[in-house]
């Protein structure tokens, strides 16, 4: 016993020494590797896996997880049978999708009718599947719910057993699964489909199935068909109102990118003085809307509401808002649309895998790709059926040869001593091939009569006609297109429904910003040469000391105004940026202020050069260029009814800007050149223009190498004889300062220089 223990101990020591002497390549070692090699060897395979096998849908409209689940349910007989427990479906799906039961069940929940996430659901559900429009309404566990396939899934699996699509091994090579489903309608655009891959994403909105199929039919007939005429906008399961902007929608249809604005639908109950909201945008939830409204009420932005509650029940979504007395519900909802997710945008990014490559396509291109895909499915199906028909015809041709001498066939079979010789003897006796002889040999004894054989032979003529028809289909693209059109018309007839989302034209007045209740009080505004801005209350200004400025900086403009005015900042890149005084916090003289290019997110290298304060957009902007031209632009040309922060082409870029000034009304201005000439210009002589980037009119004639030196408002008595400098016609050369005026020059204060 002791000797055995010693032997075991010695063996453990030997094993330990053996392990110590065993060297695993690079194990535990830190090696240098180029970052490009790391990306190529480690990261890129992961990226490709996520893009191709997880997050981006393919032309049949499904991601791999969707396809595996639906195909499993199809193989389980859930297309025609009764419902089964969701847990059973999840378990069966794991044979194709080994990512865990939770992920599979969540996929099924989203595909279900009960969850209300899809316009055309594929899973007929029973039990609590949660709601897509609710953040807090969770679905029940898989053991409590039941499901089967919806009737529309007949269109997903039609002819799937007729070689219409390729099949591949599953992850452990124990069964086959389809690479694509041979859908008979463009399901890629029939439902909302969202996915985030690595370095790219996909966001596809849903379209009305009837409109979608009709549009596809028109595209088959005419590739240049305008899709907007038959399918004007997306359609969402939650309904709502789509704010229709044809130009913006056309851009989405053309590029596959853009935004679709959707707002909630509401009704006003006069009896209870409340607003009921039953349809909301697809990008938000009832809880998010309620939380945002409560936040706005607490902040004092919304004061018309006394209570808000979620009254969602079995009948569907319902958010109720109680109002104070004498409140206009339409005005309140217009305000809520701007301040809460009751109006939101669906961001479109039609990124789809086409033949294994991700592509962002517009609606027409995407439908044309689907037509090409469906055409291949029809071609493969007809080829499969043709092969079967030809095989059957071949057998019947062999049967036809024994028609005239059935007794001979019986005699050959009866007199053949060995079973293995029956088929060869029939081949020799009737001049038929092995397949035909095998078919004849397998006929039952009871069928070896003339009546049975004649009935079978009647099928030959029909088969030959069918084969000829199928061969014609395979040789004619027009016939294939007609088949696709017929299938789409069947889908419309069986599953077509009216739109859920209402389309309304954008009313510019309605799309204007809702003016929040901004506290209005007196403020002093300061704008410096270097682009710094300060908003200071009069009290703070009186109590403060000198202005803090950067070295070399100086205050260029100052105004006494109120807190609810608009600001326009003109830049040296021919652009203007809009802001509100209220956008800036109250400041002090002792700080530098806010740097306008950073605050307003101006382009790189862009500087603010002039500020205008207005609340009515009345008056003119005057632009004086180095080439001697002057442009007068109505200030209301810079007013917008939408919340645009940046306007391009704010003034002409044909010549460098020499000076800029804001005129509330026509005035007299003094233009001075580097040659010492002055021109007294009455701005009434210059006609105002609505076009912002107008080149203007020639104002002053400049000699060679001379430029505009300054622009200033004329002060009464500034010139001893004003008529000397006054422009009678444009352009004018102006006049050199008289001796008397030259002596006064040092007492003149210049404003408005650039």
pLDDT tens figures, 276-291: 999 999 999 999 999 9
**Secondary-structure percent of the chain, ordered helix, strand, coil, rounded to 5:** 40, 20, 40
The residue among 686, 697, 683, 684 whose CA lies nearest residue 655 is 697
The pLDDT value recorded for residue 659 is 92
What are 84's strand-pairing partners?
147
Evaluate if pTM is beyond 0.75: no
More confident call, 435 vs 642:
435
- The whole-angstrom separation of Cα 148 and Cα 150 is 7
Rounded to the nearest 5 degrees, what angle is found at the Cα of 715, between the Cα atoms of 709 and 718? 80
Which residues are within 8 A (CB) of 196 and not within 5 positions of it... i.e. 6 or more apart? 55
Query: Measured between alpha carbons, how far is 152 from 528 in angstroms, rounded to an integer?
Result: 67
Interval 536-551: pLDDT, tens: 999 888 887 788 899 8
Phi, psi of 576 (to 5 degrees): -130, 135
Q: In the prediction, which pLDDT does 746 show?
A: 60
Interior CA angle at 243 toward 241 and 247, to 5°?
150
Q: 492 to each of 186, 217, 483, 486, how far by Cα in Å?
A: 12, 11, 14, 10
Residue 469 binned pLDDT confidence (cut-offs 50, 70, 90): very high
pLDDT number for residue 753: 36
pLDDT digits (tens, 9 = 90+) for 683-701: 999 999 889 999 999 999 8
Nearest one of 134, 133, 150, 139 to 87, comparing CA atoms = 139
Residues linked to residue 112 through DSSP beta bridges, in sequence order: 123
Q: Topology of domain 62-182, per CATH? A: Topoisomerase II; domain 5 (3.90.199)
Which residue, 126, 120, 139, is CA-closest to 191?
120
Locate the domains of the chain by residue range: 62-182, 265-341, 368-495, 522-747
Angstrom distance (rounded) from CA 422 to CA 412: 7
For residue 515, the model assigns a pLDDT of 47
Q: For the domain covering 522-747, report its CATH number.
A: 2.120.10.90
- The reply to whether 368-495 shares the fold of 265-341 is no
For the stretch 23-45, pLDDT in tens is 555 666 777 778 888 877 888 88
- Residues whose CB is less than 8 angstroms from the CB of residue 719 and which lie 6 or more positions away in sequence, other chains included: 678, 680, 725, 738, 741
Which of 677, 658, 687 has its CA nearest to residue 752? 658
Helix H or strand E encompassing 352:
strand 351-354
- Whether residue 417 is predicted with pLDDT greater than 70 in this model: the reply is yes
Query: What distance in Å separates the CA atoms of residue 186 and residue 207, rounded to the nearest whole number?
Result: 10
φ, ψ dihedrals at 239, nearest 5°: 75, -125
**Nearest CA among 602, 603, 580, 589 for reference residue 528:** 589
Q: Please give the pLDDT value at position 31.
A: 74
Query: Active-site residue numbers?
Result: 144
Neighbours of 738 (CB within 10 A): 15
Is 459 a residue whose pLDDT tops 70?
A: yes
DSSP state of 708: E
Higher-confidence residue of 363 and 53: namely 363
d(CA 3, CA 142): 60
Residue 62 has pLDDT above 60, yes or no: yes
Average pLDDT over every residue of 135-162: 95
Cite the beta strand spans of 599-667 per DSSP E: 608-614, 620-625, 629-634, 646-647, 657-663
Query: Tokens 């006049």 map to which residue?
Result: 735
Domain 368-495 belongs to what topology? Topoisomerase; domain 3 (1.10.268)
Given pLDDT bands bounded at 50, 70 and 90, which one contains residue 506?
confident
Question: What would the pLDDT profile of 700-727 be if each residue is shown by its tens digit?
Answer: 988 888 888 889 898 888 888 888 888 8
Backbone angles phi, psi at 627, to 5 degrees: -85, 5
* Long-range Cβ pairs for the range 107-111 (8 Å, 24+): 107/65, 107/66, 107/69, 108/69, 108/147, 109/139, 111/66, 111/69, 111/70
Does residue 18 surpass a pLDDT of 60?
A: no
Degrees (nearest 5) of the Cα angle 65, 71, 76?
130
CA dihedral for 622, 624, 628, 634, sign (positive or negative): negative
Q: What is the mean pLDDT of residues 603-632?
A: 92
- Crossing angle (nearest 10°) for helices 450-474 and 477-495: 100
Of 288, 250, 99, 116, the closest CA to residue 192 belongs to: 116
Classified as helix, coil or strand, 163 is: coil
Q: Is 723 helix (H, G, I), strand (E, B) or coil?
A: helix
Buried b (16+ CB within 10 A) or exposed e, 468-487: eebeebeeeeeebbebbbeb
Q: Does domain 265-341 fall into CATH 3.30.1360.40? A: yes
- Per the DSSP assignment, residues forming a β-bridge with 678 are 672, 735
pLDDT (average), residues 119-132: 96
Contact status, residue 426 vs residue 412, Cβ threshold 8 Å: yes
- CA 50 to the chain's CA centroid: 20
pLDDT band for position 517 (cuts 50, 70, 90): low
In the DSSP assignment, the letter for residue 696 is: -
- CA-to-CA dists, residue 631 to 63, 350, 686, 692, 711, angstroms: 58, 45, 8, 9, 13
- Output the six-digit token pair for 362: 């517009």
Instruction: Give the pLDDT score at 321.
Output: 96
């Amino acid at each position: 016993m002791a000797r055995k223990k010693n032997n075991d101990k010695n063996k453990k020591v030997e094993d330990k020494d053996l392990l110590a002497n065993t060297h695993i390549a690079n194990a535990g070692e830190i090696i240098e590797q180029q970052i490009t090699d790391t990306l190529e060897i480690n990261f890129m395979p992961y990226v490709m896996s996520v893009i191709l096998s997880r997050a981006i849908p393919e032309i049949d409209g499904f991601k791999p997880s969707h396809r595996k689940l639906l195909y499993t349910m199809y193989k389980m007989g859930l297309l025609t049978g009764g419902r089964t427990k969701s847990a059973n479906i999840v378990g069966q799906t794991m044979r194709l999708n080994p990512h865990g039961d939770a992920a599979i069940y969540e996929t099924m929940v989203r595909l279900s009718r009960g969850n209300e996430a899809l316009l055309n659901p594929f899973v007929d559900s029973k039990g609590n599947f949660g709601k897509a429009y609710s953040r807090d309404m969770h679905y029940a566990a898989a053991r409590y719910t039941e499901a089967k396939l919806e009737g529309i899934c007949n269109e997903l699996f039609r002819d799937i057993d007729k070689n219409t699509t390729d099949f591949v091994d599953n992850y452990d090579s124990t069964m086959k699964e389809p690479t694509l489903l041979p859908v008979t309608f463009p399901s890629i655009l029939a439902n909302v489909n969202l996915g985030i891959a690595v370095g790219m994403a996909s966001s596809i909105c849903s379209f009305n199935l009837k409109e979608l199929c009709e549009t596809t039919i028109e595209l088959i007939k005419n590739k240049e068909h305008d899709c907007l005429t038959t399918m004007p906008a997306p359609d969402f399961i939650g309904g709502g109102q789509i704010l229709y902007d044809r130009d913006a929608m056309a851009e989405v249809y053309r590029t596959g990118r853009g935004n679709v604005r959707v707002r909630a639908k509401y009704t006003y109950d006069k009896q209870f003085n409340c607003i009921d909201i039953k349809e909301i945008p697809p990008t938000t939830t009832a809880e998010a809307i309620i939380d945002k409204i409560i936040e706005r009420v607490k902040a004092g932005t919304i004061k018309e509401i006394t209570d808000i509650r979620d009254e969602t029940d079995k009948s569907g979504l319902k958010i109720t808002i109680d109002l104070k007395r004498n409140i206009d519900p339409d005005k309140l909802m217009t305000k809520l649309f701007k301040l809460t997710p009751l109006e939101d945008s669906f961001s479109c990014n039609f990124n789809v895998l086409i033949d294994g490559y991700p592509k962002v396509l517009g609606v027409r291109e995407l439908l044309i790709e689907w037509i090409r895909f469906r055409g291949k499915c029809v071609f493969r199906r007809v080829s499969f059926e043709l092969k079967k028909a030809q095989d059957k015809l071949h057998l019947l041709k062999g049967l036809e040869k024994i028609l005239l001498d059935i007794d001979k066939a019986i005699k050959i079979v009866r007199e053949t001593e060995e079973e293995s010789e029956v088929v060869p003897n029939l081949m020799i006796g009737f001049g038929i091939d092995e397949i035909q002889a095998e078919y004849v040999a397998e006929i039952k004894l009871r069928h070896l009569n003339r009546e049975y054989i004649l009935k079978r032979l009647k099928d030959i003529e029909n088969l030959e006609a069918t084969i000829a028809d199928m061969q014609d289909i395979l040789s004619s693209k027009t016939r294939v297109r007609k088949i696709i059109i017929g299938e789409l018309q069947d889908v419309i007839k069986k599953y077509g429904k009216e739109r859920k989302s209402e389309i309304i034209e954008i009313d510019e007045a309605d799309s204007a910003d809702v003016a929040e209740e901004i506290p209005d009080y007196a403020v002093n505004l300061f704008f410096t040469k270097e682009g710094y801005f300060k908003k200071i209350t009069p009290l703070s200004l009186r109590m403060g000391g000198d202005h803090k400025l950067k070295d070399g900086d100086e205050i260029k403009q100052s105004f006494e105004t109120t807190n609810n005015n608009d600001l326009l900042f003109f830049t040296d890149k021919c652009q203007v940026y809009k802001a509100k005084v209220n956008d800036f916090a109250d400041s002090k003289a002792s700080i530098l202020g806010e740097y306008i290019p950073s605050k307003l997110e101006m382009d790189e290298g862009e500087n603010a050069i002039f500020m205008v304060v207005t609340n009515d957009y009345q008056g003119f902007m005057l632009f004086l260029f180095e080439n001697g031209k002057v442009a007068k632009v109505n200030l209301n040309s810079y007013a917008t009814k939408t919340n645009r922060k940046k306007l391009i082409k704010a003034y002409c870029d044909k010549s460098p800007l020499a000076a800029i000034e804001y005129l509330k009304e026509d005035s007299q201005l003094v233009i001075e050149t580097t040659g010492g000439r002055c021109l007294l210009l009455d701005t009434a002589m210059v006609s105002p223009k609505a076009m912002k980037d107008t080149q203007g009119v020639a104002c002053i004639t400049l000699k060679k190498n001379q430029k505009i030196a300054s622009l200033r408002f004329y002060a009464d008595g500034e010139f001893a004889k004003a008529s000397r400098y006054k422009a009678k016609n444009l352009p004018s050369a102006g006049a050199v300062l008289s001796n008397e005026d030259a002596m006064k020059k040092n007492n003149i204060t210049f404003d408005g220089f650039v």
